A and B are shown apart, each in its own frame.
Chain A
């Protein structure tokens, strides 16, 4: 038995990051994204990535109350995922055919107003986060605690480290490991800046 939610319910559920609503979105909206991406030369992996990015965009918009639904949520979801995928296609196409691109094509925008959807950032965030989630659990925990500005003493006691110096060392080691993983991942390469800072 599949529970059906109204669009408002889904948006509120998403704001609260409720698992049942995320599952519902997967069940109901995944085929929509699949149809867009697979029709436009995407793979199943692309579908999953675009779907994740779309949910994230929807979540962020729901938090900032930017969603002004004049259509069904499904249509809205469709529009966001389509924008993301077409922007991604365009970016990858540009990367592949850079010399000819500027001559033959003009930078296009697809569908609705997508000025606040930065596909590039979405992909970078997702890829970097994937590496973060692939790290050992203690590293994840340590970095999370560090970035919510937990005092080092408290981190040491929570993580059962002997002193704050060891917390710092571990944090450097974990961060270094994460950086190396990202630098060695070819998928992350387009997001790495080798130019002057």
Chain B
């Protein structure tokens, strides 16, 4: 009879009074010598008592479950959950509204291919949202805003590629230096635009032309011999315009302005 047999079998049998006299004698001898065995026997006795009380076991199990439930409640109290739900609802509503607006713009203005730039007659670019509902490419931020808020005006802010590549280039006439306005400008509709320039040597005749975003010339000044010119935008419509300065029929500088 080895030690492990005593631990696995004899302790149980000792407490169940199931040991034969020989086993009992040997076991008692071991018990007298070994305090750990005594501890095990005492624990086993308690366990027998506890496990026999099935009613208490059931009850404690139920209490344990209730305790788990309460712990979950303590972790996330109802008020906190309510607040989180409200915040989530607000965020979801906001997103939904925004998406509704974006998709309604898309439906009204660009039915066929959403998300791609569309070329119209080889020259014009439409403001088109991409597949994420965003407006990218050669559209000003204001243009994007308008595209969302006012689809009719949106197309007026489309840029024209041919002129766009000329915007901001250095002057082609070294005798002419433009001091204002800046080449890319945003203005409120009706604001005056003051052109100032310096010219070295004799006064040179300067012609200022205003083109719309489709490249149509909508205004052209007469030859200006002075050093300034005031452009009134009161009669203009909201949209993107390009100005072009020519000196003696030679293109000197191109800039653009967005009127809101």
Give the interface of A toward B (CB within 8 A): 17, 19, 22-23, 26-27, 30, 48, 52, 55-56, 59, 124-126, 128-129, 132-133, 143-144, 147-148, 171-173, 175-176, 178-179, 182-183, 188, 191-197
18 inter-chain pairs at a CB distance below 8 angstroms, sorted by A residue, are A19-B65, A23-B69, A124-B46, A129-B60, A132-B50, A133-B60, A133-B64, A147-B52, A172-B12, A175-B47, A179-B43, A179-B47, A182-B43, A188-B43, A191-B46, A195-B35, A195-B38, A196-B32
Given contacts A194-B38, A197-B41, contact A125 B59 (CB under 8 A): no
Contact of B56 with A by CB under 8 A: yes
- With beta carbons under 8 angstroms apart, the residue of B31, B47, B63, B64 that contacts A178 is B47
C-alpha gap A178/B44 in the complex (Å): 9
Contact B62 A17 (CB under 8 A): yes
Report A60 CB to chain B, min CB distance, Å: 8
Rank and list the top 4 A-B pairs by shortest CB-CB distance, nearest first: A193-B42, A194-B35, A147-B51, A22-B66
Contact A192 B69 (CB under 8 A): no
Contacts of A175 in B (CB 8 A): 12, 44, 47
Contacts of B41 in A (CB 8 A): 197
Contacts of B250 in A (CB 8 A): none
Give the interface of B toward A (CB within 8 A): 7-9, 11-12, 31-32, 35-36, 38-44, 46-48, 50-52, 54, 56-67, 69-70
C-alpha gap A48/B48 in the complex (Å): 26
Given contacts A19-B66, A176-B8, A179-B47, contact A192 B56 (CB under 8 A): no
Contacts of A194 in B (CB 8 A): 35-36, 38-39
Given contacts A175-B47, A176-B7, A192-B42, contact A56 B66 (CB under 8 A): no
Contacts of B43 in A (CB 8 A): 128, 179, 182-183, 188, 192
Contact B70 A30 (CB under 8 A): yes
Contact B62 A22 (CB under 8 A): yes
Contact A56 B62 (CB under 8 A): no
Query: In terms of DSSP, what is the predominant structure of the interface of chain A?
Result: helix
Report B66 CB to chain A, min CB distance, Å: 5
- Identify the closest chain B residue to A172 (Cβ): B8
C-alpha gap A30/B12 in the complex (Å): 39
Report B216 CB to chain A, min CB distance, Å: 71
Contacts of B40 in A (CB 8 A): 179, 183
Contact B9 A172 (CB under 8 A): yes
Contacts of B60 in A (CB 8 A): 52, 56, 126, 129, 133
Contacts of A132 in B (CB 8 A): 47, 50-51, 57
C-alpha gap A30/B40 in the complex (Å): 36
C-alpha gap A48/B41 in the complex (Å): 30
Contact A144 B51 (CB under 8 A): yes
C-alpha gap A41/B64 in the complex (Å): 24
Contact A26 B66 (CB under 8 A): yes
C-alpha gap A48/B54 in the complex (Å): 22
Given contacts A124-B46, A133-B64, A178-B47, contact A196 B70 (CB under 8 A): no
Report B217 CB to chain A, min CB distance, Å: 75
Contacts of B35 in A (CB 8 A): 194-195
C-alpha gap A159/B141 in the complex (Å): 73
C-alpha gap A196/B42 in the complex (Å): 10
